[in-house]
Amino acid sequence: MALRVSRRKLSAYAVGRLIGGAKKTEVLRELAAYLVDTRRTRELELLVRDIEDALAQRDIVVANVTTAHPLSAQLKAEVEKLVGGKVQLKTTIDENVLGGIRVEVPGKRYDGTIRHKLLQLKAKQL
């Protein structure tokens, strides 16, 4: 059985390998094998957040973008400009989003969806 390593150290290791030029699939396999071997698979989402935070500390921002339709090249450029720095976009197409866009980066969230705007209007009327 492998030694227990903190998530922070795991994320620093993964970021170092990725920035060093290692293939993403190789790093993911290593992390997955470690998590399975140490029976820590429940920590996967937390580890992903830790990796995103470690990347953000190196000015590489992972932005989670949710829209109703695929992003155009122009909209991608605008999101990258909004976030600043080196940006990696993870896009999600969500049919429940009627229109607009939601951008989440570590520590910040911009919700420009129609649903969010309607909820804001409703809250102002109450």
How much is the average pLDDT of 104-118? 86
Query: Mean pLDDT score of the chain, rounded to an integer?
Result: 88
**Per-residue confidence band for 43, with pLDDT thresholds at 50, 70 and 90:** very high
**Per-domain residue ranges for the chain?**
1-58, 59-126
Strands 86-93 and 60-67: parallel
Q: Label residue 30 exposed, middle or buried (CB < 10 Å: 0-12, 13-18, 19+).
A: middle
Distances (CA, A) of 75 to 32, 94, 98, 106, 107: 33, 17, 17, 20, 22
Helix 44-57 crosses helix 24-37 at what angle (to 10 degrees)?
140
pTM of the shown model: 0.67
Per-residue confidence (pLDDT) for residue 1, from 0 to 100: 59
With beta carbons less than 8 A apart as the criterion, state whether 83 and 90 touch: no
**Per-residue confidence band for 35, with pLDDT thresholds at 50, 70 and 90:** very high
Quick one: which of 121, 89, 86, 87 has its CA closest to 102? 89
Please state, in angstroms and rounded to a whole number, the distance separating the CA atoms of residues 105 and 120.
Answer: 22
User: Would the pLDDT of 11 be above 70?
Assistant: yes
